[in-house]
Amino acid sequence: MCMIYSLGGVSGGHFNPAVTLAVVTSGRGKCSSRDGVAYTATQLLAGFAAGLVTKLFHAAGPNSEAKHLLQPGEGHSFIDAGLAEFFFTAV
């Protein structure tokens, strides 16, 4: 919410597809469906590109043999991670 309040006037607050979906479906006329699809496609493409760049940098780095699995840390379950994600998304 802080990012939306502080930078929303500059970018419209479209920081991720969930925000864009909320703005388009709010019925307030702040973003057309056409613009919403363009924003969402751009956000997903940018996320994919960022992941690819990160992977390429990691492969070329000094710890390229290390495995970094996408899973909760030791001592935490997927339920713990899901609850934390839900809570911090709502904040």
Would you list the DSSP string of 30-69?
SS-HHHHHHHHHHHHHHHHHHHHHHHHHHHHSTTTT----
Q: List, for residues 32-77, the tens digit of each pLDDT value.
A: 999 999 999 999 999 999 999 988 988 888 888 887 778 888 999 9
pTM of the model: 0.65
- DSSP code, position 73: P
pLDDT higher than 80, residue 82:
yes
Radius of gyration of the chain (CA): 17
Amino acid at 56: L
**Which two structure tokens, joined as six digits, stand for 9?**
């006037």
